[in-house]
Structure 1
Amino acid sequence: MSQSPATPTYRFTQPIVGMIWAQTNTGVIGADGGMPWHLPEDMAHFTRVTKGHPVVMGRKTWESFPDKFRPLPDRTNIVVTRQQGWGSTPEASGAVVLDSLEEALVEAQFSPGGNEVWVIGGGQVYEQAKEHCNVAVITVINTDARGDTQAPGLSSEWTFRGATPLEGWHTAKNGTEYRFTLWAKGETEFQAE
């Protein structure tokens, strides 16, 4: 076990469309519109990876953020929804609202920092996005907490590219064990920093 790990940093040598999430050992990513754990170290990791790059999410994910965190700072926040007229409501303030994932991914690539685009949830958006993505950054939390939303399954096209720590777990200040993992599809190249 290790204490207070440095968050891994990767420099991708080509444009990427990535997915980022945290999950339990059994693949649970959500419960009742939130996460069934409290892990500030993962939130810091999420911020470090996505900051300065556009993030794409579904409306329910956007609505799950407390008002004070919407929009996520230093990122173009793109929300995909089929709900007609939602983009003109006060709740959508600060978001670029589009009605398809494909439009959202194009918008993201033309946004500041669009050489890296991060899909941040929820479950339906991940399922739609995985065919367009070439990187997945996954925090695995050593718990079997129950939930109602599962992580998308990664097919055999995806290969494990590394973990921090490679064996064992980091231990959070609250005692929760976790590790950061990186998966890639195809010939995606990156350098660890």
Structure 2
Amino acid sequence: MLSVAVLISGTGSNLRALLEAADDPAYPARIVAVGADRDASGLAHAEAFGVPSFVVGYRDHPTREAWGEELGRRLDAVQPDLIVLSGLMRLLPPALVARWAPRIVNTHPAYLPEFPGAHGVRDALAAGAAQTGASVIVVDDGVDTGPILAQERVPVLPGDTEDTLHERIKPVERRLLIDVVRRIAADELPLAGGAHP
């Protein structure tokens, strides 16, 4: 059984979907902890499923490295097999990535390497793209530059706003994430070998 820690910053919709999947005894992974970089509303999902949670406040630490050290201590305490970044709006410090690589995965609301960074949906609309997508990647020291584990296209429709497009991307992101975690747990997807473009 694969043990998973999930890190969030916001509402945790991907987290909720993963918790629901892991609630099925046939799913080969369990969420052992949920962490956040602030008092995120998504922590309520962990509470609802009886999963321990913690907050390591980014603003409570003098540097990103100090924040990363404390986050690392919390993760060491639960020893997850895999760390999922699910809407965590912080770049992990290189030392923390090195400690856990390649066992950190992240979701992104674009068809990488197109539109990396914090505003993937907005950037796709601004570029006039006819399609965008969702990706699940292995985290490295770059911004959305790690090996791609899964991705799927999502069309941009006439009249789309950032909100409407993002709402159509989210279900694809959730489905890809649930499948990637399942495949990692079943040894069907080697983390070291994503299809890097």
Q: After TM superposition, is the score higher than 0.5?
A: no
Highest RCO, 1 vs 2 (Cα 8 Å, sep ≥ 6): 1
